[in-house]
Amino acid sequence: MNFAIFSPRLWFFLGFLGCCSMLAFGAYLQFVLELEPCPLCISQRLAIMATGIVFLLAAIHNQAHKAYAIAGAVSALIGASVSARHVWLQHLPPEEVPECSPGLEYVFQNFPLADTIKLMLSGTGECAEVEGAFLGLALPAWTLIAFLLLAAFSLATIWIKKWHESRV
For residue 72, what are the contacts with CB-CB under 8 A and spacing of at least 6?
Answer: 12, 15, 51, 54, 55, 58, 150, 151, 153, 154
Q: Is residue 139 situated within a structural domain?
A: yes
pTM score, whole prediction: 0.80
Condensed to tens digits (0 to 9), the pLDDT of residues 52-69 reads 999 999 999 877 778 899
Residue 129: pLDDT above 80? no
**CATH code (residue 25):** 1.20.1550.10
Answer whether residue 2 is part of any domain: no
* 1 belongs to a structural domain: no
Residue 78's domain comprises 8-167
In a domain, 3, yes or no: no
Domain count, the chain: 1
Residue 57 lies inside a defined structural domain of this protein: yes
pLDDT of 106 reads 64
Q: Render pLDDT for 22-50 as a digit per residue (tens, 0 to 9).
A: 999 999 988 998 888 888 888 899 999 99
Treating both helix axes as pointing N-terminal to C-terminal, what angle do 8-27 and 139-167 enclose, rounded to 10 degrees? Answer: 170
Q: 40 in a domain, yes or no?
A: yes
**For residue 134, what are the β-bridge partners?**
137
